[in-house]
């Protein structure tokens, strides 16, 4: 059985696609592309597809990952192109490698996020970040199916900074300014790197921590995009490519 690891995105309005909705869309794309899927054994065989750390509904992402098992060998790039063509725009398959190393999920140590705060002055956001980072522990609450859970949001944060707004990345801010070109309102942008831990700390938990420590309360919900997930370089606070080991292990030529 050949195994392929894929990187895909959730962009634009498709960020509101739930994980279950994406699964259905991806299974349809597999059928349309006539991918020779391998199936599990037993009374109810199902295609061998495994997903890793799906982003929450409503959050955009440039770095979602899944793995498929094939019953026949296919070229990863051709397979990527076929699947990408069969999915709606916004759910884009942007990378594919043949599996050559184990323990992929263990490599997903952290995620890098871009958090857009409309209506927040960049100086105010930068001050709130400094206040948050100065704390050793920031407890926040999250309601779960088992009730309200309290946990530390600060310990999972490997990096947090206010960055200059840019036109790219969907921020729609004028280059060199801190104003939204659509509304004229101030707009702050945060870069956040969070370690994958238990319990999982999400960007909205960090925003709750910023509100608790620095009274930072955006007037509208934040727009969040996952830029990367993978191995964490603790020294630089950056997230590296989790598919690099598979590429490096591929036979030359």
CB 69 within 8 A of CB 37: yes
81 shares a domain with 139: no
Q: pLDDT by residue (tens digit) across 19-53?
A: 999 999 999 999 999 999 999 988 888 899 999 99
CB 253 within 8 A of CB 138: no
Which of these, 118, 11, 112, 20, lies nearest to 58 by C-alpha position? Answer: 11
Alpha-helical (H) ranges within the chain are: 19-32, 76-86, 104-107, 122-134, 203-214, 244-248
Task: Please name the residues in contact with 98: beta carbons below 8 A apart, sequence gap of 6 or more.
Answer: 2, 3, 4, 5, 76, 246, 250
Mean pLDDT of the 198-209 span:
94
The answer to which of 33-37, 66-70, 157-161, 167-171 has the lowest mean pLDDT is 167-171
CATH code where residue 133 lies? 3.30.70
119 shares a domain with 42: no
| Measured distance CA(3)–CA(22) in Å, rounded | 20
120 shares a domain with 84: no
Q: pLDDT by residue (tens digit) across 113-150?
A: 999 999 999 999 999 999 999 999 999 998 877 888 89
- Determine if the pTM surpasses 0.85: yes
217 shares a domain with 124: yes
154 shares a domain with 66: no
Find the domain containing 123 and state its range: 108-239
CATH code where residue 7 lies? 3.30.70.580
CA 200, 204, 207, 211 dihedral sign is negative
Question: Hey, what's the torsion of the CAs at 214, 219, 221, 226, to 10 degrees?
Answer: -50
175 confidence band (pLDDT: 50, 70, 90): very low
203 shares a domain with 115: yes
121 shares a domain with 92: no
- Please report whether residue 244 resides in a domain: no
Structure tokens at 96: 């594919």
Higher pLDDT, 238 or 198: 238
123 shares a domain with 232: yes
Size (the chain), residues: 253
Q: Please say if the pLDDT value at position 165 is more than 90.
A: no
Please count the structural domains in the chain.
2
């Amino acid at each position: 059985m050949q195994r392929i690891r894929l990187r895909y995105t959730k962009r634009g309005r498709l960020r509101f696609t739930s994980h279950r909705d994406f699964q259905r869309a991806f299974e349809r794309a597999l059928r349309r592309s006539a991918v020779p899927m391998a199936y599990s054994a037993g009374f109810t065989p199902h295609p061998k597809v495994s997903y890793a750390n799906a982003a929450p509904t409503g959050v955009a992402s440039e770095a979602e990952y899944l793995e498929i098992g094939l019953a026949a060998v296919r070229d990863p790039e051709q397979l990527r192109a076929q699947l990408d063509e069969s999915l709606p725009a916004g759910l884009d398959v942007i990378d594919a490698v043949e599996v050559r190393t184990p323990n992929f999920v263990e490599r997903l140590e952290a995620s890098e996020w871009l958090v857009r705060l409309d209506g927040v002055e960049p100086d105010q956001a930068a001050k709130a970040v400094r206040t948050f980072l100065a704390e050793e522990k920031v407890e926040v609450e999250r309601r779960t199916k088992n009730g309200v859970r309290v946990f530390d949001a600060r310990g999972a944060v490997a990096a947090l900074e206010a960055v200059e707004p840019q036109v790219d990345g969907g921020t729609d801010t004028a280059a060199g300014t801190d104003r939204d070109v659509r509304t004229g309102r101030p707009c702050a942008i945060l870069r956040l790197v969070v370690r994958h831990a238990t319990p999982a700390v999400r960007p909205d938990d960090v925003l709750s921590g910023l509100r608790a420590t620095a009274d930072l309360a955006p007037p509208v919900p934040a727009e969040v995009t996952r830029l990367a997930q993978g191995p964490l370089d603790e020294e630089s606070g950056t997230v590296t490519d989790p598919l690099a080991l598979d590429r490096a292990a591929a036979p030359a030529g």
